[in-house]
Structure 1
Amino acid sequence: MTIENLTTDNKTIIQQALAGLLTSGSTEGLEPLLSRDFVHHRPDRDSTRSEWLASIQAALVPLADQQVEVLHLLADDDHVVMHTRRRLPDGGPEIVVVDILRLADGLVVEAWETIEPVADAASHLTWWQLVR
């Protein structure tokens, strides 16, 4: 298998996982795509496979009507980067999410996530001014 095929396959795996998650409202289809030693990294803490699946499932119920727009889906070798804009239901904030996923043998082994409310973006662009 070439790197180009691997990259395309990994991108397809992530596209199918997101589509299944959003259409089913369940992590059931996502679970088999995660390795047993999967780790989810966030700036505040890491979580295990079971912890992450539980948190995603809990969030799916109140977020069932969210609109997800995939802005970029990029793949390079064993990494896939997904940049989405999400409009939360019931007037909730609009957020931008960047997910970085590392795959091995067709399974997601690591994921990193950054979430930013669109309303806070301007203040986050000037963080370095606070350092002076």
Structure 2
Amino acid sequence: MRATTMSAENKKIVTHFYDQLFSYGNLDVVDELVGTTYTNHNPQGVDGPEGLKGFITFFRKTFPERTKTTHRALAEGDLVLLHSESAAAPGATPSAVVDIYRVEDGRIVEHWDVIQPGPETVVGGHDLFTTISEPVASQPDPNADTAENKKLVTALFHELAVEKDPTVFERYAVESFIDHNPQHADGVAAATELFTGLFAGNPEVTIDVKRVIAEGDYVAVHHHLKLNPDDRGFACIEFFRVRDGKIVEHWDAVQPVPETSRNENTMF
């Protein structure tokens, strides 16, 4: 019960902080809720509360009409994850933004993110954000078995990352699961074909799972995908919705790891 209460308290802290900072530019919330040891893994960001204030000031000056809409929020323990839609101006093609914050003693002390520009075309016909599977709800189901759902998605990634088995979705997903990745078609057959090609064409590919955050029927996986040992790779955050013991829907955000960074924290 204490862990559940802590997760809820941390989610409240982060969602309030995020709304005040990005919707209103309220820098006072940084002094109120950000720790002095704040570590930023965004390659364009710097550490510390003052660095965060500087970034937000620059961001809002550069993009005065930018809009942000948070579609789902997950919290587990000291980690809170927000999946948001961000557009440079009303009507502009939005990017998918996934932020992960670590909260310690009521203050935000660490941040990771993955940002993916919105695509011009999509294979499956779905946007990057909407929940389609029934029951339609973007926020976690409080009655769902978080532990079992996390166990299922963790097992899937083990079989992908360690065993490199492209058939995993045949065991862990419904046949016609919905895929919001703009380059992927729906369903098990398409996922099997995708990973069969990935493993065959990149025999040294690695999928290094960094953290898994689960709440209710939603499970998010933050990982580092590298096609070969010399590849800088991609920062990836994937969401899975699990209903009745099977994956029914999938979203993700993928960002190439840049050659240079303003900090030494890595994206992971």
Whether 1:22 aligns to 2:22 is yes
Q: Which structure has more strand as a fraction of its residues?
A: 1
- 1:69 is matched with 69
* Alpha carbons 2:81, 2:100 under 8 Å: kept: yes
- 2:80 is matched with 80
Separation (CA, whole Å) in 2 of partners of 1:64 and 1:74: 28
Name segments (4+ residues, structure 1) moved above 4 Å. 90-93, 120-123, 128-132
- Worse overlay, 52-61 or 6-15: 52-61
Separation (CA, whole Å) in 2 of partners of 1:74 and 1:97: 14
Separation (CA, whole Å) in 2 of partners of 1:57 and 1:93: 23
Q: CA offset at residue 112 of structure 1?
A: 0.2
The one-letter code of the counterpart of 1:59 is F
* Alpha carbons 2:40, 2:112 under 8 Å: kept: yes
Separation (CA, whole Å) in 2 of partners of 1:107 and 1:39: 12
Separation (CA, whole Å) in 2 of partners of 1:76 and 1:10: 9
Separation (CA, whole Å) in 1 of partners of 2:56 and 2:108: 15
Name the structure, 1 or 2, with higher relative contact order (CA <8 Å, separation 6+): 1
1:88-127 CA deviation, whole Å, 9 max, x = no partner? 117654211010110000001100011110127747xx8x
Q: CA offset at residue 66 of structure 1?
A: 2.1
* TM-score, with length taken from structure 2: 0.43
- 1:47 is matched with 46
Separation (CA, whole Å) in 1 of partners of 2:24 and 2:38: 22
- 2:146 is matched with none
* Alpha carbons 1:26, 1:57 under 8 Å: kept: no
Separation (CA, whole Å) in 2 of partners of 1:46 and 1:89: 22
- Paired residues, number: 130
- 1:109 is matched with 109
1:24-75 CA deviation, whole Å, 9 max, x = no partner? 3232223321110101102x36621122321122101233332222111000
Q: CA offset at residue 18 of structure 1?
A: 1.7
Whether 1:119 aligns to 2:119 is yes
Separation (CA, whole Å) in 2 of partners of 1:19 and 1:90: 18
- Percent identity of equivalent pairs: 21
- 1:57 is matched with 57
- 2:10 is matched with 10
Between structure 1 and structure 2, the one with the greater Rg is: 2
CA-based RMSD of the aligned residues comes to 2.9
Q: CA offset at residue 87 of structure 1?
A: 1.6
Change (3 A) 1:25 1:52: closer
Q: Which structure has more helix as a fraction of its residues?
A: 1
Separation (CA, whole Å) in 2 of partners of 1:5 and 1:27: 27
Separation (CA, whole Å) in 2 of partners of 1:24 and 1:67: 11
* Alpha carbons 1:99, 1:111 under 8 Å: kept: yes
Change (3 A) 1:98 1:23: closer
